[in-house]
Amino acid sequence: MVKQTIQIFARVKPPVRKQQQGIYSIDEDEKLTSSLEIILPRDLADGFVNNKRESYNFKFQRIFDQDANQETIFENIAKPVAESVLAGYNGTIFAYGQTGSGKTFTITGGAERYSDRGIIPRTLSYIFEQLQKDSSKIYTTHISYLEIYNECGYDLLDPRHEASSLEDLPKVTILEDPEQNIHLRNLSLHQATTEEEALNLLFLGDTNRMIAETPMNQASTRSHCIFTIHLSSKEPGSATVRHAKLHLVDLAGSERVAKTGIGGQLLTEAKYINLSLHYLEQVIIALSEKHRSHIPYRNSMMTSVLRDSLGGNCMTTMIATLSLEKRNIDESISTCRFAQRVALIKNEAVLNEEIDPRLMIIRLQKEIQELKDELAIVTGERRTEALTEAELLQLEKLITSFLEDQDPESRLEVGADMRKIHHCFHHLKKLLNEKKILGNSIVSSESKDQDCQEPLKEEEYKKLRDILKQRDNEINILVNMLKKEKKKAQDALHSSSMDRSEFRRSQNSPFPSGNPEEGQRRLLSSASTQAQDFSTSGYRSSLLHNKTGMREEMSLGHQEAFEIFRRDHADSITIDDNKQILKQRFSEAKALGESINEARRKIGHLKEEITQHHIQQVALGISENMAVPSMPDLQEERLRSQLEEEKRRYKTMFTCLKALKVEIEHLQLLMDKAKVKLQKEFEAWWAEEASNLQVKPPAVNSLNHMKPFPQTSESQHDQSQFLFNKSDVYARKILPSPCPSPRSQEQSRTSTPLGNSTPERPMSSVPLTGDSQTDSDILAFIKARQNVLQKKCLGSN
C-alpha cells in the first residue's frame, strides 16, 4: 500500500497580450516545494478585500511558469503517475482552473502543432512503449471516454454519436455493487492494442464532443471529460491479474465570480456556474477536514466516478491551471485556494489484484469432487458403475507420476472412491508382475551378450576401417573443390561484373537465411516499406474519415460558399500550415525510407564481401598448406567495422522513421479535427445567415418585390435540402427542418418553418474574416443563391 497526499502542481499560461510585470512571482525553495506569490495590483486591491492584503502566497509541489513546454509537463507530472499505473496502482491527473487557463491544452494538447500534444497522447505513447519493452507480462489495454454535462454522463466513443446530438444519446448511469464499487452502465470500453489505435479513439471522442456542442450547451467549458486508460496485466501461467485505471480529467471551467467589470472593477459575489464543481469542492472540504465520517460523494456524478481518486485507492495529481492576468486575479486566487485544500487529502493506493476466474473454476471443481467423494464414504453410499475410460487413464497417469516422484512424502491422491482405490491396487500389482518378468529377461539377455562379445569386436574393427577410408576420400574431394573455389574467387575479384551480380544478390537476400538477425531485419524492412506506404498513399484514420467526408454530400452552391468561408477562416491558416508540414514530413519519411533501404543493401553487400573474403582465406590456406589464421586480418577488420557502422546508421534511421510515423499520424488527426470544426462552424454560420435573411428580408434586393416564401411541404423540403446537409446535426438543432430532433419537434408543429427561429448565437461569435468587404460578398452570394432557388420554387408551383 502506498500512502500519499494528492500532489498539486501549478501551471501558468502565457498571456494573450503582453502583460504588465509584477502580478506574481515564483519562489523555488530547497524543500522540494515552490511557492507562488500573487500580488494584487493597486487599483484592484483598493476595491477588494478591505485595502489590507496585497499579496497571497500558495505552496505547490512545483510551479511551471509560462515557458514550460508540454514535454516538461509530461516528464514531471504525468510520467510518475503513468509509472505507478504500469506497476498496478490506480492513477488520476486532473486539471482545474477557469475557462481559458489551459486545462484542455495541458490534458489533451493544442490543435496546431505536434509539439503541443498534451498529457493524454504523451502518456499513451509512453505506456505502449513500456508495454512493448516488457515481455514478462501479458497486458491488455482498454480506453473509455466519458463526458459529464449537467449531471448526465455521455459516452464520447458511442458509435451512435454520428447520428445524434449529445442529449439524444443513451445516458451513462452509475451502478453501485454491494461492495460500494462504482460501475458505469452504457459506457463503452474499447480495446487498443497499439498507440495508434488509442490515439484514434482520443481524436474520435474529441470530434464527437465538438460535433455535439451547440451554443446552448457550451460543453467544452461546462462539462467534465474523463479519458480513462484501463490496464490489466498478468504473468504467463499465473492466476493473478492486476487491474489499474488511469483517469485523465479535463474539468469544467471553475469560474464562479460574475464579472461585469466597469472600469476593471470586479464583483465579489460568489456565483457557482457549475454545480458539480461545487459538489467536488464539498467533497474536497469534507476530505480535508479530519474526523468527518460522511463524505458526500453521491451528490454528483463526477464525484461518484472519481470517488477512488479522491480519498481512496489512487495516486492522484492535480494541475492548477492559472491565467495570471490582471482581470483573472480573483479566479486565480480561488483556484490556488482550492489546490491548497486538495493537497491535504491523503490517499491510499493498493495493488488491485484478483484471481483469474478460469483458474478459480478449476480449483472449485476439484474441491466439489473431493467433497462428493467424502460424502459418499460418510453416507456409506457405494458406487457400483464401472469407471470410464477417461477415469482409468487419469488414474494410471496418477500412478505413474506417483511412482516416479522421488519425494518419500508424496501421496497417491485418488479421493475416497473405493472403485478407484481398487483399481490402483490392481494396476500396481500388474506393474510389479511385469517388472519381475522383465528383470528375469534382462539377466538372461546380459549373459547372452557376454557370450558373443568377441566376434562382434572383430566385425566392428573392420567397419571402422571402412569408414576411415571413406573419410579420406571425402577430404581429398573437398580439398580439390576448395582449390577450384579459390581460383573462381580470384577471377571474380578482377571482373567488374562481379559487383553487379553481388549487388543483385544482396538485394534479394541481404542476409544468409537462419541468421539470428533475420527477425530484426524483417521487422526493419517491413517498417521501411510501411514508411513508403504511408508516404505515398497516406495513412488515413478510418474512424474520422467519414466525419470529414461530409462535404461530399453538399450541394454545389453550398460547396461554393464553403470554399469562401474556408478561405477566409482563421483556422485555414493552421490547416494549410499543417498541410505544408505534413507534406514535408511525408517527403522526409520517403527519403528516410529510401536511405534505410540503401543502408540495408549496403549491409547485405558488406556481409557478402566478408563471406567471400573468408572463402578466399580458407582456400589460400589449403592451397599453400597453411593453417587458417584464427584472428581476422586487416581487410576483414575494416569490413566488419564498416558493417557495424552501417548497422548503427540503419538503427538510428529506423528510430527516426518510427518517430516520424507517429508525428505524421498525429498531424493527420489534428487536420481532420480542424476540418470537422471548420465544417461545423460553416454550417452554423450558414444556418444563421439563412434564418436572418428570413426574419428581415434584405432591403436592396429584388426579393423585396417577391411574394412571401411558399410553404408547401414540397418546396419546404426542397429548400431544406438546399440549406441543410442531412448529416448536419447542428443545423437541425437550430432550425426546425423536415427532420427535427425530438426536442424541437413540438415547436416545429406550431411554428412556421424558418420564420420563427431566432439565431441562438450572436453574430459576433461567428468567426468571420473581420474584412467587411469579404463578408458582405458572401452575404450577397447567399442572397443571390436564395433568389435563384425561390424563383425555382415559384416556377414549379
Q: Which residues bind ligand ADP (CB under 6 A)?
A: 13-14, 97, 99-105, 110, 221, 253, 321
3-state secondary structure 303-327: HHHCCCCCCCCCEEEEEEEECCCHH
Q: Which is nearer to ligand ADP, 145 or 686 (CB)?
A: 145
Nearest residue to ligand ADP, scored by beta-carbon proximity: 102
CA–CA gap between residue 687 and residue 720 (Å, rounded): 10
Rg of the chain over all Cα atoms, to the nearest angstrom: 39
Q: Hey, CA dihedral for 562, 566, 569, 574, is it positive or negative?
A: positive
CA–CA gap between residue 26 and residue 11 (Å, rounded): 11
Binding at 321: pick from Mg ion, ligand ADP, none (beta carbon under 5-8 Å per type): ligand ADP
Binding at 557: pick from Mg ion, ligand ADP, none (beta carbon under 5-8 Å per type): none
Could you tell me if 536 and 639 are in contact, meaning their C-beta atoms sit under 8 angstroms apart? no
- Is residue 283 exposed (0-12), middle (13-18) or buried (19+ Cβ within 10 Å)? buried
Under rule CB under 5 A, residue 506 binds Mg ion: no
Q: Which helix (H) or strand (E) holds 129?
A: helix 119-133
- Min dist. Cβ of residue 221 to ligand ADP (A): 6
The x, y and z cell numbers of residue 248, run together, are 485523465
Q: Which is nearer to ligand ADP, 70 or 757 (CB)?
A: 70
Under rule CB under 5 A, residue 98 binds Mg ion: no
CA separation, residue 472 to residues 323, 458, 475, 615, 762 (Å): 90, 22, 5, 22, 101
Q: Which is nearer to ligand ADP, 220 or 528 (CB)?
A: 220
CA–CA gap between residue 39 and residue 41 (Å, rounded): 6
- Min dist. Cβ of residue 611 to ligand ADP (A): 56
- Min dist. Cβ of residue 103 to Mg ion (A): 5
Under rule CB under 5 A, residue 101 binds Mg ion: no
Could you tell me if 113 and 574 are in contact, meaning their C-beta atoms sit under 8 angstroms apart? no
Q: Which is nearer to Mg ion, 216 or 360 (CB)?
A: 216
Pick one of 34, 104, 214, 334: the residue that binds Mg ion (CB under 5 A): 104
Binding at 100: pick from Mg ion, ligand ADP, none (beta carbon under 5-8 Å per type): ligand ADP
CA–CA gap between residue 676 and residue 161 (Å, rounded): 14
CA–CA gap between residue 311 and residue 341 (Å, rounded): 12
- Min dist. Cβ of residue 250 to Mg ion (A): 6
If one counts every other C-beta atom within 10 angstroms of the C-beta of residue 318, the result is: 26
Q: Which is nearer to Mg ion, 104 or 274 (CB)?
A: 104
Binding at 159: pick from ligand ADP, Mg ion, none (beta carbon under 5-8 Å per type): none
At 76 the three-state DSSP class reads helix
- Chain CA centroid to CA 327, Å: 38
- Chain CA centroid to CA 392, Å: 52
For residue 142, what are the β-bridge partners? 191, 230
- Min dist. Cβ of residue 660 to ligand ADP (A): 24
- Only one of the segments 40-48, 99-107, 399-407, 503-511 lies at the binding site for Mg ion (rule: CB under 5 A); that segment is 99-107
Q: Which is nearer to ligand ADP, 5 or 221 (CB)?
A: 221
If one counts every other C-beta atom within 10 angstroms of the C-beta of residue 304, the result is: 18
Under rule CB under 5 A, residue 321 binds Mg ion: no
- Min dist. Cβ of residue 254 to ligand ADP (A): 9
- Only one of the segments 95-103, 121-129, 171-179, 300-308 lies at the binding site for Mg ion (rule: CB under 5 A); that segment is 95-103
Q: Which is nearer to Mg ion, 147 or 195 (CB)?
A: 147
- Min dist. Cβ of residue 98 to Mg ion (A): 10
CA–CA gap between residue 306 and residue 293 (Å, rounded): 18
- Min dist. Cβ of residue 224 to ligand ADP (A): 11
Q: Which is nearer to ligand ADP, 99 or 694 (CB)?
A: 99
Q: Which is nearer to ligand ADP, 12 or 199 (CB)?
A: 12
Nearest residue to Mg ion, scored by beta-carbon proximity: 104
- Min dist. Cβ of residue 99 to Mg ion (A): 7
Q: List residues binding Mg ion (CB under 5 A).
A: 103-104
